[in-house]
Amino acid sequence: MIKIKNNNYKIIDAHLHLPWEDKYETIDEKYKALKHEMKINNIDHGLLIADSLLDTTIGNNKDCLRIVEKDSNLSLIYGYSPLEREVEQLDEVRGLLNFNKVKGIKLYPGHDDFSMNDIRLDKIFKLCIEFDIPIALHTEWNDDYFPQYSHPFFIKQIAEKYPTLKVVCCHMWMPRVIESLKLTKDLNNIYYDISSFSVSKKYLEKYPNAGFPTKEEAISLLEQIMNIVPNKVMFGSDYGTLLINDHIDTVLKSNLNDEQLQKLLYLNASRIYNI
């Protein structure tokens, strides 16, 4: 819980990973670092997103499940890929869902070599609908000569085909946020998180061509999207790569009103992910 303008606000961080840095040698060390960041930033609850790969630096599904089972302040987002072990993954996640151990499923188009119009994804969409959990997507929309794995047009097609499927667009196609929002905002079952909106000056200097906004640009984007779709946007930090406090600082410096802050920081994620 944090205080903004003399009001207290609970916070759900809807986009957390275990840190990938080599300085953390074990999953337990990565978990300890995550918990420290949550504590110093007053995060009440977090959604821990597992990688779809078995061999990964950010924790696979079994690693992340072991963590959330012992921590009531964390919930699991299951990492899924249609590229391998399809039957095994579907059986595993169904078993976890039967015991309410998963709050959503994450796809990594662009990181994994598949597009969101891949017909193999229909099975996981139908599973999400059956258990009323969101499908969360890595989104990016690069220059037009790049493969567009998660182009807004594909996401619109999915939302229209499956109107009861809750679709969470992580990162909001940063940096083409407003352009993408205009293309998707009218679909009632499409939602967004603001992970990757805010990076430090050091990060901007290290990756000048990555397309991240300046602090001033991030604040402006946040204010715009909360004025357009206040019931659809969730706080998220992409911790593990980026920092929670950079994202909180963007919220603190914005001109969002009390109702917008409550929705962004807690209420929307609580409703969408059934926390």
Residue 4 lies in a domain: no
In a domain, 3, yes or no: no
pLDDT of res. 149: 87
Domain that holds residue 114: 11-272
Judge whether 1 lies within some domain: no
pLDDT at 141: 66
Output phi, psi for 7, to 5 deg.
-115, 145
Tell whether 95 is covered by a domain: yes
In a domain, 231, yes or no: yes
Tell me, what amino acid is at 3?
Answer: K
pLDDT recorded at residue 147: 57
Q: How many domains, in total, are found in the chain?
A: 1
| Distance of alpha carbon 252 from alpha carbon 22, whole angstroms | 31
Is residue 198 included in any domain, yes or no? yes
Which residues, other chains included, contact 263 with Cβ-Cβ below 8 Å and sequence gap of 6+? Answer: 226, 230, 231, 233
> Could you read off the pLDDT tens digit of each residue along the chain, which spans 275 residues?
887 877 899 999 999 999 998 889 899 999 999 999 999 999 999 999 999 999 999 999 999 999 999 999 999 999 999 998 999 999 999 999 999 999 999 999 988 989 999 999 999 999 999 999 999 999 986 666 555 789 999 999 999 999 999 999 999 998 889 999 999 999 999 999 999 988 877 777 777 777 788 889 999 999 999 999 999 999 999 999 899 999 999 999 999 999 999 999 999 999 999 99
Residue 28 lies in a domain: yes
Tell me how long the chain is.
Answer: 275
pLDDT score of 212: 80
3-state secondary structure 125-172: HHHHHHHCCCEEEECCCCCCCCCCCCCHHHHHHHHHHCCCCCEEEEHH
Contact 185, 214 (CB under 8 A): no
- Is residue 5 one of the residues assigned to a domain? no
CATH code, domain carrying 62: 3.20.20.140
Put simply, whether the predicted model's pTM sits higher than 0.75 gets the answer: yes
